[in-house]
Structure formats: C-alpha cells, structure tokens
Chain A
C-alpha cells in the first residue's frame, strides 16, 4: 500500500512523459472503481476542461457479457492525466473514446490498460489529441490478452494533430498477447492539418481559425461517435478548440 502511494518518477514507464511536479499536487490519485456484473451495461462521460492540475484513475471490471462505454474529453490548462484500466471477462465489451486538447505549456495524457481476461471479449480504444503552443500530449495504451483469452477482438487507434511545430505528441501503443487466435489491431499517427484542405475551406470564406476548427472537429468526432452524449461532447470540444486557435 505504501508503495502505491509513493509519488512515481519518470523512470516508471507509465509516467515517462508526465509532469511529476504537477502530479505531486494531486497525488495520491484515488481509484474510481466501476464493477459491472454479468450482462450489465453502463457508461461514463468524463469532462475535465478546468485549470487543473487534475489526475483521475478509472478502473472498470466487466463481468461476462457486460458492456461499458467510456468517453473522455480533457484539456486541463496545466496538467491533466487520465488513467483507465479495464478488465474484461468472457464476451464483455469495452469502448474508450477520448479526446485530449493541450495548449500553452500544458501536459495532457491518457494511459490505458485493457486486459482481456475471458474469451471472445471485444474492445475499442480511440484517442485523438490536438496540441498547440508548447503543449505535450501523450497516449500510452496497452492491450493485454491473458492466457486462454481466445477469440479476443481488440482495436486501438491513436492519432495526434500538432498545430505548432513546438508542440509534442507521444504515442505508445503496446500489445501483450499470451493467447492464440486473437485479433489485435493498432494504429498510431502524428500529423499536421492538411494545408490544401485549409486553403480550400478559406477560399470559401472561412477565417483561418474557423477552417482549422472545422477540420479538427471532424478529427475529434471519431472519439465521440456513437456516444449517448455525442452532441454535447462535440459542442464542448468545439468551444475549447475555438479558445485554443
């Protein structure tokens, strides 16, 4: 227990890109445990757009056939860290859709571990980051497939958009597979907004910030697609983007 409460250092892989000084202000981070029994369904929307620093640790355990939908929109002005872990039993289903927005000198990060413990469980993780100024955005995502968890279908898509050359994106998708007959897809990309697309939108009358916001809204939309509160999350993200650009 004492060990869990000790402030980590950047030597620890999960905190490699973190802002330890900011983390110290909110340490220790309490665990928010969510347990769904067999066949239950649940969802959670996390919005953290305050001044920060903020750190949250969300731990989800899913019984056989249970389904959980977690959506995250975060972009603390200083430091924001969201840790997500999910343990899936047979035929459980987990969705993580997250967007993180970083500006100024903020550090924003999402660290996830999705463990397929049972057979034929499915998981999708979609993380989109938009970073401006000197912000750092990281996504460390792990999918672990336990021994015997055959029929696992796991998907992970991590993308970051850098609007300034001074911003930083770190992405570390990780797979740990101890079973045969599993499907684990993962993709990761870091890029800039398409210059021709921006010119096209501006040539129709959109100001540069409007053109950027429109393209970024589309970029972030994937993280919220299918969520119960899709429209609210979109609107909040757009409002925040407007302030960033």
Chain B
C-alpha cells in the first residue's frame, strides 16, 4: 500500500530524513518509535504534504500513486489520513460543516456522489458514538476549546468519518489520560484494523501499543530506520531505552 524508498527530506533547508525506507502492506499496523528529534513528525508531515517539509530525494508510492507529486487534498482523496500531534483550532467553523465539506470534496475527487445532509449526520453520529463523543461537540468550532484528549478523540472521529485506507497517526497518545487512551486505541482498531487498511503509528511510548497491537515496530534515529522488529521490540525499547537498543 505504501512504499517509501530512500526518502530524504529537509525542513528550512536542514536535513531531517536521511534515507528512510519502509514498506507497509494492507492489513498491517506499523509503529515508528524513536527519540525526540529523530524525524518522526517530519515523516508524517512529508507524507501528508505540509508546505515547508520538502522531500529532496527518494520515492514514495501510495496505492499506485506518486505520493510526493500530489497536493495534500489529493493525498486525502486517495485515502491517506494524517492524525495531527497538535490538532489545529479553526474558530468559527463547525466540525459538522467542515467534515461534511471535506468528505464530499473527497467523494467528488473520486467521482462519487456527495452525501446528503441526513446521511452525513447519521454517519457522524455513528462515528462519534464509537469514540464516545457527544454530537454537541461536533457542532462546535473545530478543536476550539477542546481539551488535549478531546482533540485527539475528535481526530479519531474525523478518521472514522473520512474512512481512509492508510492512517498515519502522529503521537495520538500524547495528552491522553488512561481512559481516553483506551477509547482512542479501541477507536483505531474498530476503524482501521481491516484487511484492506493499514496504520502507521508514530509514538514515543509503548502504552498505545498495548491497545493497538503493531505487526512491526521500527526505531527511527538520525533520520533513518535503524532497527525493525516485532511487538517485542517496543517492550525492549521501553525497558532499555533508545540508546541501548538502537546502538
């Protein structure tokens, strides 16, 4: 589904990713772990197409598309979802309006009919219920006045509504209390744990992986993947630290 070959990327002309390669197949959950400054968030942003995060070398293929040649909205329509570490507040724009427009923009790009208001609300209600989020929250402006945990849950509701093929979740576990962590973890499983979908979890800690069991764990350090293993690698990292394991 996603093939990253020898990806180099810079931010403000500073090289951050230095030859990263990774293949994710449908049905798989991958976790990327690594110390601060390793390039984890940069990887998410480069794949999402954030302006200023420039791929200087390498190739990324997503569902047959040359991902790096696409605009952010084209990537979304092709089935990519980027969960933000810090979801952005958009004052004055309600979640419902935003998500309906976003979903219908994606559907239009794929040549599908737009979803009616009623059908959309039904879908939104289902997905909000899955993340135990009140519909009233979805009527409020995007992320405005939401707590850290509510923002992350709202991201998962967005993911449920947009129904992507590949979700790249950047530190979805940060800012979550124990209950919210479990709810988000269960949400990720319910929405994305399917044979035709895949997940790339970017995280510092093992704790999210207790709920969302990864098939592969990668250690990112110095802009490259320095070690790959199974779920046990995350436990080993937790126990011995990045320096000892990645050395």
Contact of B93 among A199, A208, A218 (CB under 8 A): A218
Contact of A202 among B72, B89, B158, B162 (CB under 8 A): B72
Report if B106 contacts A (CB, 8 A).
Answer: yes
**Known contacts A218-B91, A218-B92; A207/B73 CB under 8 A:** yes
User: With a CB–CB cut-off of 8 A, which chain A residues contact B97?
Assistant: 214
User: With a CB–CB cut-off of 8 A, which chain B residues contact A201?
Assistant: 90, 98, 102
Task: Name the CB-closest residue of A to B92.
Answer: A218
Decide: A206 and B101 in contact? CB cutoff 8 A.
yes
Decide: A199 and B92 in contact? CB cutoff 8 A.
no
Interface size class, chain B: 20 to 34
Decide: A199 and B102 in contact? CB cutoff 8 A.
no
Per-residue A-contact encoding for B139-159, CB less than 8 Å = 1, 0 else: 001000000000000000010
Task: Name the CB-closest residue of B to A200.
Answer: B88
**Known contacts A208-B73, A210-B101; A199/B50 CB under 8 A:** yes
Report if A187 contacts B (CB, 8 A).
Answer: no
Report if B67 contacts A (CB, 8 A).
Answer: no
Report if B103 contacts A (CB, 8 A).
Answer: yes
User: With a CB–CB cut-off of 8 A, which chain A residues contact B84?
Assistant: 200, 203
Interface-centre pick from B82, B89, B93, B97 (highest chain A CB count, 10 A): B93
Report if B51 contacts A (CB, 8 A).
Answer: yes
Chain B 86-119 residues near chain A, CB threshold 8 A: 87-93, 97-99, 101-103, 105-106, 109
| Residues on B facing A (Cβ under 8 Å) | 48-51, 71-73, 75-77, 82, 84, 87-93, 97-99, 101-103, 105-106, 109, 141, 158, 162
**Extra pairs beyond A195-B51, A205-B105, A222-B92 (15, CB < 8 Å):** A197-B88, A199-B49, A203-B72, A204-B99, A204-B158, A204-B162, A205-B109, A207-B105, A210-B105, A211-B73, A214-B97, A215-B93, A217-B93, A218-B90, A218-B92
Can you report 14 residue pairs joining A to B where beta carbons are below 8 Å apart? A196-B88, A199-B88, A200-B84, A202-B71, A203-B72, A203-B75, A204-B98, A204-B99, A205-B105, A206-B101, A206-B105, A218-B91, A218-B92, A218-B93
| Residues on A facing B (Cβ under 8 Å) | 194-197, 199-208, 210-211, 214-215, 217-219, 221-222
